[in-house]
Amino acid sequence: MRLTQGTFSFLPDLTDAEIAAQVAYALSRGWACSVEHTDDPHPRNTYWTMWGPPMFDLPDAAGVMLEVNACRKAFPRHYVKVNAFDNSKGVESIQLSFIVQRPAEEPGFGLARSEDAGRTLRYRVHSYATDRPEGQRY
Amino acid sequence: MNKPLEHPSIADPKARYRAGVLKYKEMGYWRPDYEPADTDVIAVFRITPQEGVDPEEAAAAVAGESSTATWTVVWTDRLTASDSYRAKAYRVDAVPNTGAGTPNEAQYFAWIAYDLDLFEEGSIANLTASIIGNVFGFKPLKALRLEDMRIPVAYLKTFQGPPTGIVVERERLDKFGRPLLGATMKPKLGLSGKNYGRVVFEALTGGLDFTKDDENINSQPFMHWRDRFLFCMEAVNSAAARSGEVKGHYLNVTAATMEDMYERAEFAKELGSSIVMIDLVVGWTAIQSMAKWARRNDVILHMHRAGHSTYTRQRNHGVSFRVIAKWLRMAGVDHLHAGTAVGKLEGDPATVQGYYNVCRDTHTKADLSRGLFVDQPWASLRRVMPVASGGIHAGQMHQLLDLFGDDVVLQFGGGTIGHPMGIQAGATANRVALESMVKARNEGRDIRNEGPDILIAAAKRCAPLAQALDTWKDVTFNYASTDTPDFVATPTAA
């Protein structure tokens, strides 16, 4: 399967030049970029591991790309994403978030169902990757 | 009957309260010297007086009939601090391109101020019962339209507002940087629960974020609500597992009674649905009740504006949708259908963009070219996600993104389900078109002009998009809008 979280997952994986262009756009809007990675891409896994805090004072895309590359090098089989954070009044949240690395094999998710009263089903989305311990998942 | 006196605002109380009939201007409802207070509610009405009715008198009558007045003088006014309870018409402007020398009958914008004490806190029902209660049937006017309102911060702060809002909705869904994609299930009527859930499953699996019940899907003989909810949630969860994304289906909980609506909403929540929907026709009190329920239960509340065109569409009479949108933001909905400009339903682009301002701004600035008459600070009331739905397709993606930006749900019903290669293909076409356009815009390309080329380039890698562009390439809905701004933006010297 192909995990389709993030802004551009229905497009071919972005090249480094394309990633840098998106980062430049975010910086031009005054947003701070950050890099996060995980080996557990469950849709409700809100907190991926931060590759450092958001780079509030970094003005150029090349600097962000250095961090993207360092994270990818340290975790070559993890999902890695770039977030752009907007701290302006009324937003104070992420404005752009896209995947910049994914493992070669994406095992995907299973859906467990348990039957309850009145034909109700209880669902549990299960990430196959997490069947193995952290560090051995991809 | 006493002969009406000729001079406005009679100062002598004995003359003012003599039994009989006075002009509204004489009763104190026309106050051109009045400076509205920051705490006043201000309403801008478009009035079309009957032949021979003076516009200032007509404005005073609207102020009177929407506040304290009745048709005759009553001495019991003197038991109250009546001057503070009287609404005050303080400004009348001729509407451009109406009246003598034009093909249109004379119309005027009347600006009326209402003291804060006239309204119950946190109640849209009370606000609307005053402002649009009796006055719209008033005989001396041929027609009356409520164009805009300035709600003072002091009054806004008595309302809960949207239960979730744009920011929190995005954080819950983990979806950023692009419009959300949805589709309304078709055919609207007749599908069984199982077949209906199939359409939901295909559309979500193909790449949409949301699917939607239509406004008139409630609990009919062909599909009862409980059955629909169960099959739709199976589809939602299956699609989430296949994509690794959060997905949702707006379960319509509109029903005959508040008890029925609560029962359906509770069941949707129990099944794990992130969102429920209601129709505008349920009424203001029911909307506010559901807003409180949604806030209590962390469920997103989608509003389908069913019925609004009966009173928003005609330019001379009714209530502008920008006012309805303001009331709905106060009442507390998270999603609001606000028009497409380019699709099948009424909506001039500038006017529709004005509605989007009302939904999404933290401070809406007066902008007559968008039909916005007043500044409206929103006092941190959460922001509403507008929904563009009705006759739109992938080939218009550049126009939609250019007009509305990122914080909008783009809903392609026919434009997903009617795809020649199937529903999943239709959904994929829309998602690829959207992501390609957002990416190109962020890269600095001029999507308004280069949009068609960007779509064609994306379609080279995506057969479903190529098919979609080919199928709907000639579909446009170019009809004149009935509700357009009265003021055209003109370039000014800098």
Using an 8 Å CB-CB cutoff, list chain B residues near A22.
Answer: 439, 442-443
Share of chain B above pLDDT 90, in %: 83
Check pLDDT > 50 for residue B5: no
Judged against a pLDDT cut of 80, whether residue B169 lies above it is answered with yes
pLDDT score at B21? 83
Q: How far is CA B18 from the centre of its chain?
A: 45
**pLDDT value for B323:** 98
Stronger pLDDT, B481 or B317, i.e. the higher one: B317
pLDDT at res. B124: 98
Contact B355, B313 (CB under 8 A): no
Residues B63-115 pLDDT 10s: 999 999 888 888 999 999 988 999 999 999 999 999 999 999 999 999 999 99
Strand-by-strand arrangement of the A32-38 sheet:
A49-50, A32-38, A79-86, A93-101
- Please check whether residue A33 is in contact with residue A84, taking contact to mean a CB–CB distance below 8 angstroms: yes
Q: What is the pTM of this model?
A: 0.95
Q: Which long-range contacts (CB under 8 A, 24 or more apart) does B257-265 make?
A: B258/B286, B258/B289, B261/B286, B261/B289, B261/B290, B262/B293, B264/B225, B264/B229, B265/B290, B265/B293, B265/B294, B265/B297, B265/B299
Mind listing the domains of chain A with CATH numbers? 16-104 (3.30.190.10)
Say which residues have a Cβ less than 8 Å from residue A133's Cβ, sequence separation at least 6: none
- In degrees and rounded to multiples of 5, residue B53 shows phi and psi of -90, 125
Which candidate in A2, A9, A11, A100 is best for mutational testing of the B interface (most B CBs within 10 A)?
Answer: A11
Q: Are B39 and B152 in contact (CB under 8 A)?
A: yes
Q: Among residues B408, B373, B376, B411, which one has the least CA distance to residue B392?
A: B411
Please report which helix (H) or strand (E) contains residue B264, including its range.
Answer: helix B258-270
When comparing pLDDT for B300 and B18, which is higher?
B300
Is residue B397 within 8 A of residue B451, CB to CB? The reply is yes
Gap between the terminal Cα atoms of chain A: 14
- Per-residue model confidence (pLDDT) at position B6: 45
The reported pLDDT for the residue numbered B391 is: 83
Burial of B306 (0-12, 13-18, 19+ CB in 10 A): middle
CA-to-CA distance for B254 and B249, rounded, in angstroms?
15
- For chain B, the residues whose C-beta falls within 8 A of a C-beta of chain A are 167, 170-171, 174, 176-178, 207, 230, 233-234, 237-238, 240-246, 270-272, 362, 380, 383, 406, 428, 431-432, 435-436, 438-439, 442-444, 458, 461
Strands A79-86 vs A32-38: parallel, antiparallel or unpaired: antiparallel
User: For A37-94, what is each residue's pLDDT tens digit?
Assistant: 999 999 999 999 999 999 999 989 999 999 999 999 999 999 999 999 999 999 999 9
For residue B341, pLDDT over 90 is answered with: no
User: Least CB-CB distance to B435: which of A5, A8, A25?
Assistant: A8
Asked if the model's pLDDT at residue B247 lies above 60, the reply is: yes
Q: Strand A79-86 vs strand B141-150: parallel, antiparallel, or unpaired? A: unpaired
